[in-house]
């Protein structure tokens, strides 16, 4: 997918709004404490937004990869652009979430604590899970965009790890957030249906009769060693 000019403008506008929001440019802080915690409050809101975008991304991925999508639903054409666009916005909100928390002294995470699991000053195990989720997400996104980085046919297997990545992000969100308790209805309402969807997807793939291997190479059969475009492979899975 090419990131369009409109997407870049939208991402730039979000970053500019965050910069204005966490500094004194628009609304000067009423007291020093408010000024201190503003970046942290913004970082947490960005984290929740990134989590919700990730949930939507995994949900659209489940629709795309469902065995019935090829035969009955035929939703690849409308859903695939959303799935791809959601990955761009999830990434952008995550970058802002992580950068603000890494640079903000109040958050007590630090740059090393954000990048190396276990080195955060604040809730090291919970932040470590978030860092691992971030690397796993990066791996999933890069191997989906440049499928040739992996041996033929491997990118889709790697892509299925996204379900585990979502689980890590979920655990991080519940354990790291100061508002984990207040937000638990949100985490349950999003996490449970997605995990049920993943389980259902695995189950339907397991009970589905295997297709017979094609006996001869037809003109529509992709040549060995050459990965199919992402959308095509998803319909085949």
Residues that bind ligand HEM (CB under 6 A): 44, 47-48, 50-51, 54, 94, 97-98, 101-102, 107, 109, 114, 122, 127, 130-131, 133-134, 137, 169, 172-173, 176-180, 183
Q: What DSSP string runs through 86-150?
A: HHHHHHHHHHHHHHHHHH-GGGT--HHHHHSTT--SSSHHHHHHHHHHHHHHHHHHHHHHSGGGS
- CB nearer ligand HEM, residue 65 or residue 131: 131
What angle (nearest 5°) sits at the alpha carbon of residue 194, between those of residues 191 and 197? 150
Instruction: Determine the straight-line distance between the first and last CA of the chain, rounded to whole angstroms.
Output: 20
Query: Which residues, including other chains, have CB under 8 Å from residue 145's CB and lie 6 or more apart?
Result: 1
- CB nearer ligand HEM, residue 79 or residue 134: 134
C-beta of 85: minimal distance to ligand HEM in Å? 17
C-beta of 169: minimal distance to ligand HEM in Å? 4
Residue number, nearest CB to ligand HEM = 177
C-beta of 119: minimal distance to ligand HEM in Å? 10
Token pair, residue 102, equals 């890494």
- CB nearer ligand HEM, residue 155 or residue 166: 166
C-beta of 93: minimal distance to ligand HEM in Å? 8
C-beta of 196: minimal distance to ligand HEM in Å? 20
What angle (nearest 5°) sits at the alpha carbon of residue 64, between those of residues 71 and 199? 95
Helix, strand, coil shares, percent, the chain, to 5: 75, 0, 25
């Amino acid at each position: 997918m090419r990131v369009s000019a409109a997407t870049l403008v939208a991402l730039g506008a979000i970053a500019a709004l965050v910069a204005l929001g966490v500094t004194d440019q628009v609304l000067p802080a009423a007291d020093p404490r408010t000024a201190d915690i503003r970046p942290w409050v913004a970082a947490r809101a960005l984290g929740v937004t990134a989590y919700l975008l990730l949930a939507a991304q995994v949900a659209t991925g489940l629709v795309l990869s469902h065995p019935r999508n090829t035969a009955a639903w035929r939703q690849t054409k409308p859903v695939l652009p959303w799935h791809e666009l959601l990955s761009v916005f999830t990434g952008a909100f995550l970058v802002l979430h992580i950068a603000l928390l890494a640079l903000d002294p109040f958050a007590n995470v630090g740059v090393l604590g954000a990048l190396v699991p276990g080195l955060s000053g604040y809730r090291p195990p919970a932040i470590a899970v978030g860092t691992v989720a971030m690397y796993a997400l990066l791996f999933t996104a890069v191997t989906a965009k440049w499928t040739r980085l992996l041996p033929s046919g491997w990118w889709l297997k790697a892509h299925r790890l996204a379900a585990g990545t979502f689980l890590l992000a979920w655990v991080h969100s519940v354990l790291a957030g100061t508002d984990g308790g207040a937000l638990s209805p949100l985490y349950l309402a999003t996490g449970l249906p997605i995990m049920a969807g993943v389980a259902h997807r695995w189950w339907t793939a397991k009970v589905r009769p295997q297709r017979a291997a094609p006996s001869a190479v037809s003109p529509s059969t992709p040549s060995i060693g050459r990965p199919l475009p992402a959308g095509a492979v998803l319909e085949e899975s």
